Structure 1
């Protein structure tokens, strides 16, 4: 977690960011960088058939690691095959952390038929529709990502750091 010193702590101070599929790969990197920049992050481990681990447990462990170094992140669980779990997510997060200002959804590059990708896109649309007015929705499709995870995460967080709170 050496990335924690990379950003000024006040840059996103107090802003609530929802990160879906936040426990591995680019989602994890984005989560750590956002926390380091002062955001309060809702860490969602996206459950789905075929996942080889427990996303909710991964989210809890990541949040515990971040809390141990003074960052604010809370774990949430949602199942990409159950839209209702994403429809209610922004309201749950608002009750715990405050109104969601930004939502980042990582769509993994899924091998095979693309059913999982379609499920992620559907889930992303569901959560986007449930966001409060003015909240920003960002979708990262890993199939289109030509950069490495570190570079893509840097780019996204830098983009959020340089926009005014009213416009993000």
Structure 2
């Protein structure tokens, strides 16, 4: 059973893209955003150092979220190809509506430098491709490399992202 937290702020209808959303803090963020009512584009980040299939992981997470009555759509990008990130907001807009925010979970600090550079290049391409007014957020997890290491700082960051997006949504609807 998925744990979605208690009484999250509402993000109804907000479209949020999360890169590297299939494990660890990215998975937890995607789950929290979905529980808050966001439409989450779960993006599996494929790369040679990955020991599993990013596309399959994205599909499984979306199925679990959808089975819980939440809305999530699976996507996959090759982290070595920033052009894929450039096209991603358009693909998501066609499927779910314009992207309101994109979150990129970067590799842990002890990950190989080449992998971190590839994630940063994809993040920059994604930021440039977002619609005007969409938020771009990057986060480097506090733990060591590994899919299931979440620190207290990471948990605080998760809350701040959800709360910040809810505040943005509330301001937008009050205008």
Aligned to 1:117: 116
Residue 115 of structure 1 and its aligned partner are, at CA, apart by: 1.0
Matches within 5 A, 1:121-140: 121-140=120-139
Matches within 5 A, 1:133-148: 133-142=132-141, 147-148=152-153
Q: Is 1:156 matched up with 2:161?
A: yes
CA distance in 1, matches of 2:160, 2:30: 13
Residue 63 of structure 1 and its aligned partner are, at CA, apart by: 0.2
Q: Is 1:2 matched up with 2:3?
A: yes
Distance 1:6 1:78, change over 3 A: same
Unpaired segments ≥5 residues, structure 1: none
CA distance in 1, matches of 2:24, 2:159: 13
CA distance in 2, matches of 1:114, 1:133: 31
CA distance in 2, matches of 1:28, 1:43: 8
1:23-56 CA-to-partner distances (Å, cap 9, x unmatched) read: 0111001100000110000000000111001111
Stretch moving more, 51-60 or 112-121: 112-121
Residue 159 of structure 1 and its aligned partner are, at CA, apart by: 2.0
Aligned to 2:147: none
1:80-132 CA-to-partner distances (Å, cap 9, x unmatched) read: 10112111000000000000000000001153541111110111000111111
CA distance in 2, matches of 1:82, 1:57: 19
CA distance in 2, matches of 1:58, 1:146: 23
- In 2, are the aligned partners of 1:26 and 1:152 still within 8 Å (CA)? no
TM-score (norm 1): 0.90
- The count of residues paired between Structure 1 and Structure 2 equals 165
Aligned residues: CA RMSD: 2.1
Unpaired segments ≥5 residues, structure 2: 144-149
Residue 166 of structure 1 and its aligned partner are, at CA, apart by: 3.2
